[in-house]
Amino acid sequence: MKKNITVILAVLAIGYTGCKNNAYAPPAPATSNSYLPQTFGSTWKYRDSIYGEKTNTASIYGVKIDTLTVTINGGVTDFNSTICYNAEISSIQYGPGAAYFYAEKHLFGSHEQSALFGLADFEFLVDTASVGYTWINAPTQNTLLNGSPLQSVNTVREKGITKIVGGKTFTNVIHTSVNFQINIKGTGFHNIAYYDFFLAKGIGIIEKDSYVYGNLDETKTIIDYNIK
């Protein structure tokens, strides 16, 4: 991972100063039959390959292999009226962490920490949308990065596909992408980072691939899961 990119982009976390604990009754969590279950006690375990996959040009950094366990803990957080279900993250390399999953009608996403961006908003699925459907959101509250406009372009790439992850075959999978872009000095929006998401119905995210300026930076693949 290029250190200068980390320093520049980490300020994305600043835009989330408005989050607070939810003070009113939250909506029901996405069920165990959705593409992002949020039911209390559900867990997912991932193999996390960081910095240095074979396609990464910055291979000098080598490969770090981590194991992540994500658990819905029953808490909720309100990110400026977006009600999220809290998830605890256990990392062998980095210890405890947190993520926040939400479902608003048919829009699914998360607020989560990124090594590059800090806390960012990923809108990664509209489950009723057709292949090719694209929408735009702001991945931070203030929509700016170092004074330059920032946006996320999200696309449904494939639906109803079969995908093998970690030797397991998953059916009824949706493939989507999230593309973070910045407009510096009015030159138009340019790609910063790109993410592929693969979600299986009734399970959730089975794979997430992260790219920075075209280089594969991180891959998370599911090892095991227990949906309540």
Locate 80 and state its tokens: 């400026």
How far apart, in whole angstroms, are the C-alpha atoms of residue 205 and residue 199? 4
List CB contacts of 99: < 8 A, sequence separation 6 or more: 70, 86, 87, 89, 110, 111, 112, 113
pLDDT digits (tens, 9 = 90+) for 38-59: 999 999 999 998 865 454 444 4
Fold of 3-226: YmcC-like fold (2.40.360)
Task: Answer yes or no: is pLDDT of 3 > 70.
Answer: no
pLDDT digits (tens, 9 = 90+) for 72-101: 999 999 988 889 999 999 999 889 999 999
Break the chain into its structural domains and give their ranges.
3-226
